[in-house]
């Protein structure tokens, strides 16, 4: 898919300045695959976390807070802040910055505690 092409060596610049992180690190990822985010298809790369796949697609928020309903996404990036909680294949409250994506993963934005189905 397009992301792989963007990271290919053909676009490497001669002046040494990278245009993307992948280009800087000389990334040669495996073929991209598809995941869904609230039903919408997105490309993802093997090795990416859920958070990285979402950032790569320009998505920065995927949770709304319990009280104020405010949008949140990655904050600390190292598994400490729990702001990036997300629902992965029906399991709520997973840390997007730690969980890797797999082909066909259904990512769901999460409202509040992500346990709306338990409401009576």
Structure-block tokens of residue 61: 């928020």
Residue (42 or 52) nearer to another protein, CB: 52
HEC letters along 74-117: CCCCCCCCCCCEEEECCEEEEECCCCECCCCCEEECEECCCCHH
Smallest gap from Cβ 59 to another protein, in A, equals: 9
Distance of alpha carbon 50 from alpha carbon 56, whole angstroms: 10
Smallest gap from Cβ 100 to another protein, in A, equals: 6
Which residues of this chain interact with another protein, rule CB under 8 A? 17-30, 45-49, 51-52, 55-56, 60-61, 65-68, 70-83, 85, 88-89, 91, 93-95, 97-100, 102
Smallest gap from Cβ 34 to another protein, in A, equals: 16
Residue (13 or 119) nearer to another protein, CB: 13
Angle at 39 between CA 37 and CA 1, to 5 degrees: 65
């Amino acid at each position: 898919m397009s992301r792989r092409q963007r990271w290919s060596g053909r676009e490497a610049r001669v002046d040494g300045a990278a245009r993307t992180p992948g280009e800087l690190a000389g990334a040669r990822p495996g073929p991209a695959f598809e995941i869904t985010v609230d039903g919408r298809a997105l490309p993802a790369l093997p090795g990416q976390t859920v958070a990285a796949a979402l950032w790569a697609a320009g998505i920065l928020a995927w949770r709304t807070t319990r009280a104020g309903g405010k949008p949140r996404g990655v904050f600390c990036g190292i598994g400490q802040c729990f702001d990036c909680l997300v629902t992965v294949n029906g399991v709520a409250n997973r840390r997007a910055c730690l969980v890797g994506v797999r082909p066909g993963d259904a990512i769901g934005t999460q409202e509040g505690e992500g346990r709306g189905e338990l409401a009576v």
